[in-house]
Amino acid sequence: MAVFTTRNTRIAGISACVPEKIISNWDYTWIGMKERQQLVNTIGVETKRAVDKYTSASDLCYVAAEKLVEDLGWIKEEIELLIFISQSKDYTIPHNAAIIQDRMGLPRTCVAFDIGLGCSAYVYGLSVMNNMMSSGHIKKGLLLMGDISSTGSRRDKSAYPLFGDAGTATAIEYADGFEEMTFNLQTDGAGYDAIIIPDGGMRNPTTKSSLEFKQIDKGIIRNNIQIVLNGIDVFNFSLREVAPNILSLLERINKTTEDFDYFVLHQANKLMNNAIRMKLKSPKAKFPLSISKYGNTSSASIPVTIVSELQKEISVNELNLILSGFGVGLSWGSVSLKTDRIKCPEVLIYEDHIKNYNPNRYHYIVKSK
């Protein structure tokens, strides 16, 4: 079992950025009103945010990072680590982290690389960053993650109503002696095809047939470069694995659910998260939900939920948290951590903030097409 502890790091701040455009599932006319009602009640997504065709996940992360660095008063020359996690890269090559490093004006001494993960990304990303920083050789780092939902078919009722767009930034700093973070990470690649885009990679390159739309089932029409979500398999996997993963973590650190203020879960869907909560026998108040406002934002969902639902409390109090991400891969993991009055601005609206910065050629390359 991959249970391990990282030391001497703390979260200094978390920020989240979403696009201005709001899409309501009540207006999802691909299905009838009765099915819309059932969908909203089950998955919990009433509204979600959607970027325009010129905006990428890295743009949202860039705005979130600039605001957070500004609020923290960090000197950019002191930031020596930047990790970008997404399934919505700007390009196949190069990696986004290098582009963002230059766009933000971070020093050339900054280590910058991407990780390709989705639903479990926040927990996995924290584990990588904290391990790299625990020795004290790197004092300040930025963990950026976000996804956009443009890979979904609007005529696919199994996936389109679920996913929303967001980008986030988490600032990590070296803090000698700060409370440990303990992780429990797991993987089951046998379920890799439960959430997949079949074509467009090196295994199945895009061909003319990849773009042909096919009727998969009633209310489900998509092509092979659009996301396929096997909801039943993902639901069963989550019910089977997530609660035991958290309970194993609690047992390892000799704590119970009562020792924690909140459990922030990946916002998969409301029914799934409530089922996990009941398995943990914990009150609803300890499980914040942002899915009704922002949908399932994949890699960004845990930090989006923290900023959206706990912003005031996490800014002024010490909090003991369990974070748990689970999904695509299949991969899942949880972490126990403590926060201490971190910087946490309110959720940023991308269009309100981009004018405050000077987007360089990378933004305009996309916009000019």
pLDDT tens, per residue, the chain with 369 residues: 689 999 999 999 999 999 999 999 999 999 999 999 999 999 999 999 999 988 999 999 999 999 999 999 999 999 999 999 999 999 989 999 999 999 999 999 999 999 999 999 999 999 999 999 999 899 999 999 999 987 788 998 889 999 999 999 999 999 999 999 999 999 999 999 999 999 999 999 999 999 999 999 999 999 998 889 898 999 899 999 999 999 999 999 999 999 999 999 999 999 999 999 999 999 999 999 999 999 999 999 999 999 999 999 999 999 999 999 999 999 999 999 999 999 999 999 999 887 666 555 444 444 433
Please work out, in degrees rounded to the nearest 5, the angle formed at the alpha carbon of residue 168 by the alpha carbons of 162 and 171: 150
Per-position DSSP letters for 248-306, written without gaps between them: HHHHHTT--GGG-SEEEE--S-HHHHHHHHHHHT--GGGS---HHHH-B-GGGHHHHHH
- The label of the residue with tokens 């108040």 reads 285
CA atoms within 13 A on the CB side of 352: 11
Domains annotated on the chain, with CATH: 2-367 (3.40.47.10)
In angstroms, the CA 138 to CA 141 distance is 8
In tens, the pLDDT along 126-173 reads 999 999 999 989 999 999 999 998 778 899 888 999 999 999 999 999
Tally: H helices and E strands in the chain: 10, 17
Q: How far is CA 119 from the centre of its chain?
A: 6
pTM for the full predicted model: 0.94
CA atoms within 13 A on the CB side of 150: 16
- For residue 189, the SS3 value is helix
- The label of the residue with tokens 């639901």 reads 235
289: preceding bond cis by omega (within 30 degrees)? no
Contact 142, 110 (CB under 8 A): no
